[in-house]
Amino acid sequence: MAVDVNNNIRFSASGVSTVTPGGVNYNKRSTPPMPQEMPADDIFMLQAMAESKAEKKANSQANWNKAGVIAQVGIAVAFLTTAALGILAAVGLKKFGKGGAASQANEELKALTKVNLKWEDFAKEKTVAPLDSKTTAKSLKKAFDNIISNRGLSDDAKKWGGVKNNIDIMYLYGHGGTGKTYVAKQFAQETGSQFTCIKYPDLGSPYKDAASMRISSCFDEIINAANAQKDKKIVVCIDEIDAVMRKVPDGQHGAEEVAKSRAAVLTGLDKLREKCSNVTVIATSNYHPKNGIVDPIALRRFNNKIEVPLPKKEQIEALLEMYLKDVGAIDKSKFYKSSEFKNFAKKLERNGYSNGEVELIAKEAGKIFGSSLKKVSDSDLKKHPFKIKYLEEAMKMNGEAASKTNKLMDVSKKGSDTAKDPGEIKLNFFQKLALLFSKWK
């Protein structure tokens, strides 16, 4: 009987064992037969190899577990650090100093919203004509006189007349070039006030909400200046305020920013009423308050709406004389009293030329006259006096008056949101013809 172990060991009938080398199969892999003299060693060696492999696998798994724990700890530390830095940045701790990101952002914000006002005193510098000058419209002078006179009343007279100490907020409107800003300077000089002018276009900004913040900052600076000098009067001129007073339809580009800027202006005016009694606000605009373009709700903040009209003949004469004062070739005793000069001034009035346009005509006439003297010797200068023809030529060069095509002051056009003036008188054809004839007369 023979017993076969892995088909290698057989017992013969004589009891002597023999070994027949054969292939060994471990994990379904066949290996070549081992030498006959090392059958036992092969088994132990394979067992040692298997144990070594199992030990390496266990060590590798342990290392991976340690790496996972370290990675999780690192992620947790990084998350906590980031969260802590975010909280510190939001709180804006001062210990980071001026070089910190939060401090730098605050400085940039201040630069975007800070407005430095320039204050002038025209009472000391004679750069502005007095309010009673011939260059000022009589209707405008009368309106200003009423405002100034109320300020000179005693306490008993104010109580008797029911006059309150509210600050004056004026809305000066008129054609472009009528000198609205200049009139504000005249008022400041007449009342002995410090003067500052805010040009609204300079407050604009391409950054969101920056314009409204600059407006708020500007009003805060005015309030601080007024409260620091309560014994002094202050006149604040807001030039071209119609930039934020116009009605902008919802959804139109920029409507939201205009609405915020308008709200900032109106809030600033309310603050001035509450906190200051020595400030006068004069806003200028090219829009008539009744043409339906300017927001009527915003206009309620202005207790005085005063028109700066186009100059009349007497004003034009005074303006031309003022702007031609440096021309030595003009005989003042004759030229300004001549019928030619007076007829020219009347022609400018009839065609609706503004103060600014009269100034341009006078200066351009001086240039034209100067060019005619290029080949004239100094000894012959007196033979070339200034003549009215130079003013006529300058008027042709400047063209038609801007008031002829300006619709901003039109209050009777169709489609206006505001009703016509109830006091407006309708004229028939013959009445209009008679009126036209009287203007030409």
Least confident of 182-196, 240-254, 272-286: 240-254
Report pLDDT for 199.
85
State the pLDDT confidence band at 153, using cuts at 50, 70 and 90: confident
305-324 burial, b for 16+ CB within 10 Å, e for fewer? bbbbbbbebebbbbbbbebb
**Residue 172 backbone dihedrals phi, psi, to 5 degrees:** -90, 125
Residue located via tokens 């040009």:
199
Report pLDDT for 13.
46
CA dihedral 83, 84, 87, 93 (to 10 degrees): -160
Tell me how far apart the alpha carbons of residues 139 and 312 are, in angstroms, rounded to a whole number. 11
Report pLDDT for 292.
83
Tell me how far apart the alpha carbons of residues 222 and 64 are, in angstroms, rounded to a whole number. 70
State the pLDDT confidence band at 256, using cuts at 50, 70 and 90: confident
| Residue 27 placed within a domain | no
Q: Which domain does 184 fall in, by range?
A: 120-307
Tell whether 317 and 188 lie within a shared domain.
Answer: no
- The answer to whether the CB of 43 falls within 8 A of the CB of 54 is no
Tell whether 133 and 214 lie within a shared domain.
Answer: yes
Cβ neighbours, 10 Å, residue 405: 7
- The answer to whether the CB of 295 falls within 8 A of the CB of 388 is no
pLDDT digit string (tens) for 30-49? 555 555 555 555 566 666 77
Amino acid at 238: I
Tell whether 296 and 324 lie within a shared domain.
Answer: no
Tell me how far apart the alpha carbons of residues 421 and 412 are, in angstroms, rounded to a whole number. 8
Tell whether 293 and 327 lie within a shared domain.
Answer: no
| Among candidate residues 284, 289, 244, the one with its CA nearest the CA of residue 263 | 244
- The answer to whether the CB of 178 falls within 8 A of the CB of 218 is no
| Residue 14 placed within a domain | no
pLDDT digit string (tens) for 47-77? 677 777 777 777 777 776 766 767 777 777 7
Tell whether 251 and 138 lie within a shared domain.
Answer: yes
Domain containing 162 — which CATH number?
A: 3.40.50.300
Average pLDDT of every residue of the chain: 78
Report pLDDT for 427.
57
Tell whether 284 and 176 lie within a shared domain.
Answer: yes
pLDDT digit string (tens) for 406-430? 878 877 544 444 434 333 445 555 5
pLDDT digit string (tens) for 314-371? 999 999 999 999 898 999 889 999 999 999 999 999 999 999 999 999 999 999 999 9
What is the 8-class DSSP label of residue 93?
Answer: -
Q: For the chain, what is the domain count?
A: 2
Q: Is the pLDDT of residue 5 over 50?
A: no
Report pLDDT for 424.
41
Domain boundary residue among 307, 323, 350? 307
| Residue 52 placed within a domain | no
Tell me how far apart the alpha carbons of residues 255 and 275 are, in angstroms, rounded to a whole number. 30
pTM greater than 0.75 (yes/no): no
| Residue 243 placed within a domain | yes
Tell whether 152 and 202 lie within a shared domain.
Answer: yes
Domain containing 358 — which CATH number?
A: 1.10.8
